[in-house]
Chains A and B, each alone.
Chain A
Amino acid sequence: MDVLTTLARTFFDWDYIRAVLPDLLGTGLWNTLVLALSSAVLGTVLGMGLAVMGLSRSRWLRFPARVYIDVFRGLPAILTILLVGQGLAQVTRPLFGYNPYPLGILALGLIAAAYIGEIFRSGIQSVDRGQLEASRALGMSYAGGMRLVVIPQGVRRVLPALVNQFIALIKESSLVYFLGLLASQRELFRIGQDEAATTGNLSPLVATGICYLVITVPLTHLVNHIDRRLRSGRRVAAPNDPDGPDGPGDPDGRGGPDALAKLNLTVAKEPA
């Protein structure tokens, strides 16, 4: 009984949790999301560039992409964050002042780009060669065929892996606290850790963990959802598609409008 009470007080002390919640939700959550989202955008853009370079026929484009990816995937994230965040701080101080966020975002984005680049490359490579050939045969340039036909299909296939990478980024954004943050700049982890240190109790960190889970668990399930859809062959429809996910999907792929007409007919008749 005593052990249980001790454990409960160590991890789930409601008073400590209630004390840290306003900071977590008011400051930490926002800062974490800013870090994760900004670096995700940066990583996706750079990653696409790396993927296209990696698939180029020119070795002078392939080689730098290869080296970049090897280096940033091979280094511990914390090392990259410290090198970029502290190393470049002197140079960028006139621009950003003492705000470590821009460099933190840059470091996280550079790391993410290496992983996302590999994800995109594998996705684009998995698209049937015939797609580019058909594009070329219709008079499109290599770049046009890649941009309009091949890359959109490749990206669609790796959406689950991409969301996984975004989840990793949300968690890794906690490492930015190594760069030193002002009170208003603290993200989720730093707030929880500060509070745990001052109170000598781990409950604030548990509350922090729950905040992370509130973001990451729905994303994980989103991954599973997308994955299941891609596997079952149902297309993830673009918003302007006339045959959206609830459109005339027929399992054997032979139905067409007739199948839809039959379906509508049955549904319409039911109430009568």
Chain B
Amino acid sequence: MTSSATQGPPRDGATFTSVSVEVRDLRVSFGTSEVLRGVDLRVERGQTACVIGPSGSGKSTLLRCVNRLQEPDSGDVLLAGESVIATDPDALRQRVGMVFQHFNLFPHRTVLDNITLPLRKVRKLARDRAEETARTWLAEVGLADKAPYRPAQLSGGQQQRVAIARALAMDPEVMLFDEVTSALDPELVKGVLGLMAELGERGMTMLVVTHEMGFARQVSDTVAFMDRGRVVEAGPPEQVFEQPESPRLRTFLSQVL
């Protein structure tokens, strides 16, 4: 895996090396409130799963358990059958890329340094190799000319694409997207979603928490509807959007569509 990090993105049309994700009976409580009450979810290798649902339903917490930014009280997540609980968190996080709602780029460093910093400090690449990889990825997300700028000098959409490039440069096997377009101006959303759709097509396994129903419907292989800490309904998008079974999902869809 480490060697491929130096090679940048897969060449024209080639696919990512990704793995399946299986969430098993995941439970998390904050104090007395149960945020996840036994969540199960399976994403096949190279597929995209969108998690939808009202705010406070535990979508983000679920995502954060996959790379253990949140430690579950019980249950487990399996990456290609391997338990994440049994994996060292720092090693685990090198295999799992994550993109956040508020980008979380490092404002005191240039766009290029944002990508080379983890490559150099975590992947231990030499500076020139790290820069080469970073520039390849920046070109891949269409921002090759932004390398010397500070994040604050870019638009929100550009910042989010840098954040995606930063995660991809680490050569992950799974990508987590946590409401990545929620903080963007409407006209900037499309570019980010388009990039994500392209990653899906190229075989990246993706877990996407989103409020973009159009994206969920068009791009995902599986849609999971969460409410109050449980996956209430999951299935292919046609089924979830066209023939919702549970009343709660029907109510939710009638409110957001």
State yes or no: do A and B come from one complex: yes
Instruction: Give A residues with C-beta under 8 Å from B.
Output: 128, 130-131, 133-141, 144, 148-149, 152-153, 156, 233, 235, 241-243, 248-250, 253-257
Within the assembled complex, what's the spacing in Å between the Cα atoms of A135 and B105? 9
**How far apart are the CA atoms of A248 and B46 in the complex, in Å?**
41
A253 contact from B98, B110, B153, Cβ within 8 A: B153
A134 to B89 alpha-carbon distance, docked (Å) = 14
5 interchain pairs, CB-CB under 8 A: A128-B104, A134-B98, A243-B148, A254-B155, A257-B149
Rounded to whole Å, the gap between the CB of A196 and the closest CB of chain B is 49
A243 near B153 (CB under 8 angstroms)? yes
Partner of B117, one of A130, A148, A256: A148
Given contacts A139-B94, A256-B146, contact A130 B100 (CB under 8 A): yes
Q: A139 CA to B118 CA in the complex, in Å?
A: 8
Q: Say how far B7's CB is from chain A's closest CB, in angstroms.
A: 18
| A134→B121 CA distance, assembly (Å) | 14
Which B residues have a C-beta under 8 Å from some C-beta of A?
67, 69, 89-91, 93-94, 96-98, 100, 102, 104-108, 110, 117-118, 121-122, 145-146, 148-150, 152-155, 158, 163, 166-167, 170
Min distance, Cβ A125 to any Cβ of chain B, angstroms: 16
Q: Give every chain A residue within 8 A of B148 (Cβ-Cβ).
A: 242-243
Q: Are B122 and A140 interface neighbours, CB within 8 A?
A: yes
What is the chain A residue whose CB lies nearest that of B170? A138
B110 contacts A242, CB within 8 Å?
A: yes
Query: Known contacts A130-B100, A137-B67, A243-B148: does B153 contact A256 (CB below 8 Å)?
Result: yes
* A138 near B102: Cβ-Cβ < 8 Å: no
Q: Note all chain B residues with C-beta closer than 8 A to A156.
A: 108
Q: Is the CB of A257 within 8 A of B146?
A: yes
B90 touches A141 (CB 8 A): yes
Q: Is the CB of B153 within 8 A of A250?
A: yes
Instruction: List B contacts of A152 (CB < 8 A).
Output: 108
Minimal Cβ-Cβ distance residue in B for A134: B104
Report the bound CA distance from A135 to B158 in whole Å: 20
Q: Is the CB of B100 within 8 A of A133?
A: yes
- 10 A-B pairs with the lowest CB-CB distances in the bound complex, closest first: A134-B104, A138-B118, A130-B104, A242-B148, A139-B94, A137-B98, A139-B122, A139-B93, A153-B108, A253-B152
A128–B96 CA distance with the chains assembled, in angstroms: 22
State the CA gap A204–B23 with chains docked (Å). 79
B166 touches A138 (CB 8 A): yes
Whose C-beta in chain A lies nearest to the C-beta of B122? A139
In the docked arrangement, what's the CA distance between A134 and B151, Å?
Answer: 14
Which has the most chain B C-beta neighbours within 10 Å: A130, A137, A243, A254?
Answer: A137
| Of A138, A144, A153, most B-chain CB atoms within 10 Å | A138
In the complex formed, the residue of B with least CB distance to A259 is B153
Min CB distance B94 to A, Å, is 4
**Which of B89, B100, B107, B121: most chain A CB closer than 10 A?**
B121
Q: What residues of chain A lie closer than 8 Å to B97, measured between beta carbons?
A: 137
The answer on a CB contact under 8 Å between A131 and B153 is no
Cα separation A256 to B154 with both chains bound (whole Å):
6
Given the known inter-chain contacts A130-B100, A131-B106, A148-B121, please indicate yes or no for A136 contacting B93, CB distance below 8 A.
Answer: yes
A28 to B154, CA, bound (A): 51
- B96 contacts which chain A residues (CB < 8 A)? 137
- Is B155 a contact partner of A138 (Cβ separation < 8 A)? no
Which residues of the partner chain A approach B93 to less than 8 Å between Cβ atoms? 136-139
